[in-house]
Amino acid sequence: MTATLSRAGPVRRAWLPVLRKLGTSLAVISTTLLGLLVITFVVGRMVPADPVLAIVGDQADQAAYDRVYEELGLDQPLPVQFARYLGDVLRLDFGVSHITKNPVALDLARVFPATLELATAALIIGTLLGVPLGVLAAVHRGRWIDHIARVVGLLGYSTPVFWFGMMAILIFYARLDWVPAGGRVELYYEGIVEGPTGFLVLDAILAGEWEVMRSALMHMLMPALILGYATTAYISRMSRSFMLEQLHQEYILTAQAKGASRHAVIWKHAFGNMRVQLLTVIALAYCGLLDGTVLVETVFGWPGLGQYLTTALFFADMNAVLGAVLLIGLISIGVNLLCDIVYRMLDPRTR
């Protein structure tokens, strides 16, 4: 019995930091979510748009207006309205969209996979191009590839994505007719593939619908490349900065003095130590893509969360607006939490 208790002591002490960190993370997440709910609620009430008029129209009489006003609970004090809003959100009830007449939760489940697919494709492009470009620019500092990386970063940062989108449609659709103008797939292919993932390209592959897959890829090509270029500019710039910092460390000189090859010094030692920082940058880029596709989706008619949010703003559909903003915030918190977990797995110093 004594031996069992003595063995339980170290085990309990080993788990205490883990449980303490888990409790701290849950407290931070809960506080962040509560702050997000407060901000979305306050912004929803401060927007100069009348949700009642969006429902009844400007030709309705005062009696109909007052009835809908009371049904929405707008006659209650703000704390009561927030408590009601908080309870509905905790039940995943974001209300009903005034445009589609569907529950906002169903609308979000329908449009968000399209945004996720586009953002994922753009992140893959940005990572595959940005990381090698930034590393090579740092290794060959001051040479032609470094100048190319700087020009790519400057153009990617300074040029609005909607301008790139309009120029792409003008050149590659209107003039050259290489790509379709907008949408996610040709009209005659809509509804053929309705797979479990919501990623149309992947679902078409799983269903064996190769023509649908080809159409989906062609429609996704230009918006993904434009977002991918902006992501490449950001990731390449940060990769270059991280690599330059690592190349000036003493362990690099030590590895070179021991006869390590140039390839091993760069990709094994330097890149291995900067990958944790790079992971954070990629996670932030992904969050930026998820909430920054609004303009690109609007230009290309991409039926995702950005276009849904833009349409809701134009028609003062505040239930849809608040639901979309809250979803973006939840995804950002989730991605950052996952990044923190992976960060601790890759870097033993943070454990």
What is the tens place of the pLDDT at every residue in 309-331? 888 888 778 888 888 888 888 88
For residues 315 and 54, what is the distance between their CA atoms, to the nearest angstrom? Answer: 7
Average pLDDT of 62-66? 82
Q: For residue 45, which of 4, 6, 7, 73 has the smallest C-alpha distance?
A: 73
> What pLDDT, on the 0 to 100 scale, is given for residue 107?
92
Of residues 31 and 241, more confidently modeled: 241
Q: How far is CA 96 from CA 40, 104, 106, 315, 319, in A?
A: 17, 5, 9, 14, 7
Amino acid at site 238: M
For residues 311 and 258, what is the distance between their CA atoms, to the nearest angstrom? Answer: 62
Average pLDDT of 170-174? 87
Of residues 6 and 288, more confidently modeled: 288
Average pLDDT of 205-232? 90
97 by DSSP, 3-state: which?
A: coil
> What pLDDT, on the 0 to 100 scale, is given for residue 19?
65
Question: Is residue 5 pLDDT above 50, yes or no?
Answer: no
44 by DSSP, 3-state: which?
A: helix
For residues 209 and 206, what is the distance between their CA atoms, to the nearest angstrom? Answer: 8
Percentage of the chain exceeding pLDDT 90: 15
Each residue's pLDDT tens digit, 28-46? 777 877 887 888 788 777 7
Question: Is residue 116 pLDDT above 50, yes or no?
Answer: yes
> What pLDDT, on the 0 to 100 scale, is given for residue 123?
93
Query: Are 291 and 332 a contacting pair, CB within 8 Å?
Result: yes
Question: Is residue 10 pLDDT above 80, yes or no?
Answer: no
Question: Is residue 208 pLDDT above 80, yes or no?
Answer: yes
DSSP classification of residue 210:
H
> What pLDDT, on the 0 to 100 scale, is given for residue 128?
94
CA dihedral 27, 32, 37, 42 (to 10 degrees): 130
Side-chain-side CA neighbours of 74 within 13 Å: the count stands at 14
Average pLDDT of 100-119? 90
Each residue's pLDDT tens digit, 254-284? 887 787 787 788 888 888 888 888 888 898 8
Number of neighbours of residue 225 by Cβ within 10 angstroms: 18
> What pLDDT, on the 0 to 100 scale, is given for residue 21?
64
For residues 345 and 351, what is the distance between their CA atoms, to the nearest angstrom? Answer: 8
Q: How many residues does the chain have?
A: 351
pLDDT category at 118 given cuts 50, 70, 90 is: very high
> What pLDDT, on the 0 to 100 scale, is given for residue 232?
92
Question: Is residue 348 pLDDT above 70, yes or no?
Answer: no
Q: Name the CA radius of gyration of the chain, rounded.
A: 25
Flag the least confident range among 52-56, 65-69, 104-108, 174-178: 52-56
Q: For residue 37, which of 77, 94, 75, 76 has the smallest C-alpha distance?
A: 94
Structure pTM? Answer: 0.82
Look up tokens 């007449």; give the residue: 101
For the chain, domains (ranges, CATH) are 17-90 (no CATH), 104-350 (1.10.3720.10)
Average pLDDT of 72-96? 82
Average pLDDT of 137-159? 87
pLDDT category at 227 given cuts 50, 70, 90 is: very high
